[in-house]
Amino acid sequence: MVNRILTKIDHHRHPRPVDKAHGNLPVSDKLEKPDIEFQYKNATYVLDVTFAVEANICNAFKGKILKYGGTYGDNRVIPLVLRYNGTVYEKSMNMLTTFLPEITDSFLSKHCCLAVARANEFQNIPVIEVIDY
């Protein structure tokens, strides 16, 4: 899912994964890291993709900002919270519309459903059950 998003981001934003190979790991004692880094108006922003059930969706969104806000600044963290039925959390979509308008709701929904279906193939759950959730 993250690789699909990475390839969709406009190359003028200089998107790249956050990892050791790119030398852009956050200076933190935490092992977790955001997924993608990109430029917007000469500032570095980060995107972190996560799935959440409806009951935890607000906490998942706020948790990502709290987790990375100290390193990148609260206003430069974009938590991309996806539901398991392929829809995007509204606050995430609002941020994407501002910072990454090329990442559309339909693009995310399509690839979200595919990612969930692939993950559930390993558990022998029929794809139709995942999409109709």
pLDDT at 20 over 70: yes
CA atoms within 13 A on the CB side of 126: 3
Read off the pLDDT band of 130 (50, 70, 90).
Answer: very low
State which residues form the domain around 85.
2-131
Q: Is the pLDDT of residue 110 over 50?
A: yes
Q: Is the pLDDT of residue 9 over 50?
A: yes
User: pLDDT at residue 125 above 70?
Assistant: no
Burial class (CB in 10 A: 0-12, 13-18, 19+), 13: middle
What's residue 106's pLDDT? 86
Task: Give residue-wise pLDDT tens across range 40-70.
Answer: 999 999 999 988 889 999 999 999 999 888 8
pLDDT the model gives residue 12? 94
pLDDT tens for each residue of 76-97: 999 999 888 888 999 999 999 9
Neighbouring-strand partners of residue 46? 37, 77
Domain count of the fold of the chain: 1
pLDDT at 128: 47
